[in-house]
Structure 1
């Protein structure tokens, strides 16, 4: 077991290590109704596919530390969702689920394992319910099912959300971005000065990059009915993870998903909040690759 991890595994077998090799990358856009999705791929298109769905405080660059290792034996697909990174969007209604599947169709990929952080995890669960024939496996990092009931926040969490609301109403995008880092990447129970400075700079850079999309207002269409009462139907293997210092709702969603999903394994990453794959990339990579191997994905 990797240091700093608490693991709870469900069904699965042994782990066979992978050897990294050179991989190819492309960087085009895909035109979809009302948007041009920026995406990147790595690895061989004939290999088992992985789709990396980013956090709401980041964009596809959050996965940079893992791509080379994953591409050794997988076809790795990642894209910037509408409102993030280099994707350009009109102010229209859209479906995150449809955008993901449109990209898979464009690349000629029939099935994939979906790996999502935060909102990315929620989208992965939604797709598994709406289009189960397209999903081989699910990895959620601090993401819960759509429709999950509101959870009472701690006083520290409440205070940070109040500051975020104020920054939003005053249209102060840069302050909003830095407050998002304090809330999600640092977490209300940790002191930013105690963390690795490079990690904080990286997380802050993600949110500041997204400021360029602040004027765009695409409206995501929710899954109807939502996933919360339906995740018990998901038959695909799932790895449900969370950071030790993530917010109260994320911790509650983690426990709920492990309790109700029939093929779920769990992992709590220690000494991190909402971005364990960025803050502790090597530990996250070991857990992910081991889980993929055990489940034949």
Structure 2
């Protein structure tokens, strides 16, 4: 009986130690507060999410990367548990503020879609703060060659939300859009995505004026100045616009490589997490050229 009690007590203590590994908080950055989570040891890796999503987008990456790196994920201003956006802002400046707050001098930056745009803009403006970049299914301010389908999709959701708010109908339209479609994900991931969309307040669709503003020159114009080794990832089934962006990144960034993730859509890290994790970890662990 005593052995059983001791084993049970050890299990409780071990669970407590494990729980203490994750640090969470609100970082005071400029005139806002950013929610963040941090775990692990080693080179820092910062994960940055897509529009309308939050830190939970990286659930399938979190433990896998925490075994190799110090992992940080945060909610961009206006999303998740961070303060809501009131005015246009530059999210790459918020990222700098977060790294300063956490006393992190240099980090790998992994971003998807909007997060990829933030990563690239940050790398261009603060090259000394970046180890490597992974830009997955990235958007790109300054880029205009988006397809009519993508323009119509985004235009429709903005029209619906700005006139009717962000309710079940609008959330369903966004979940069914090419940007949110999951091709290979399991049920748990599908539920996770639905919960993020339902928890999002819709501010950026209701009032696009508060969208992230990267300033001038645009990130597109700055790509040739990105010196960090860069991995461009794109889902095979992602909307054509993002393949165009990926190809442009390969042409403009000096030290770059590209991989296509078979069977994945726009949210490639959620659709094919094992492939995404393998490609990204291998890249981050390679010796810098």
What TM-score do the two structures reach when normalised by structure 1? 0.81
Q: How far has the Cα of 1:151 moved from its partner?
A: 2.5
- 8 Å CA contact 1:240–1:266 kept in 2: the answer is yes
How many residue pairs match? The answer is: 267
Deviations 1:187-235 (A, max 9, x none): 7xx7xxx974443322221111112767897453323101213312212
Structure 1 residues 229-258: Cα deviation after superposition (integer angstroms, max 9, x where no partner): 331221211010111221222110011111
Instruction: State which of 15, 25, 29 in structure 2 corresponds to 1:28.
Output: 25
Note closer, same or farther for the CA distance 1:195–1:73 as it changes in structure 2 (3 Å cut): closer
The alignment partner of 2:105 has SS state of coil
Report 1:170-185 matches (<5 A): 170-174=163-167, 175-183=169-177, 184-185=179-180
Q: C-alpha separation between the residues in 2 aligned to 1:177 and 1:132?
A: 37
Whole-angstrom CA distance in 1 between matches of 2:159 and 2:217: 32
Distance change in 2, residues 1:110/1:243 (3 Å): same
- Pick the aligned partner of 1:143 from 135, 138, 154: 138
Which has the larger share of helix?
A: 2
List aligned pairs for 1:61-140, cutoff 5 A.
Answer: 61-89=56-84, 91-140=86-135
- Counterpart of 1:249 in structure 2 is 241
List alignment gaps of at least 5 residues for structure 1.
1-21
Distance 1:178 1:213 in 2: 16
Deviations 1:85-143 (A, max 9, x none): 11113513432111111111111110111100101000111011111111111101111
Shift of 1:69: 1.8
The corresponding residue for 1:287 is 279
The SS at the match of 1:37 is: strand
Alpha-carbon shift at residue 63 of structure 1 (Å): 0.7
Instruction: Please state whether the residue corresponding to 2:274 is helix, strand or coil.
Output: helix
Q: Extract unaligned runs of 5+ from structure 2.
A: 1-17
User: Which one is further off, 25-34 or 196-205?
Assistant: 196-205
| SS of equivalent to 1:267 | strand
How is 1:250-289 mapped onto 2 (pairs within 5 angstroms)? 250-289=242-281
Provide the alpha-carbon RMSD of the alignment: 2.5
2:13 matched residue in structure 1 = none
Higher relative contact order (CA 8 A, sep 6+): 1
TM-score if structure 2 supplies the norm length? 0.84
2:162 and 2:90 map into 1 onto residues whose CA distance is: 26
Q: Is the 8 A contact 1:135 1:236 kept in 2?
A: yes
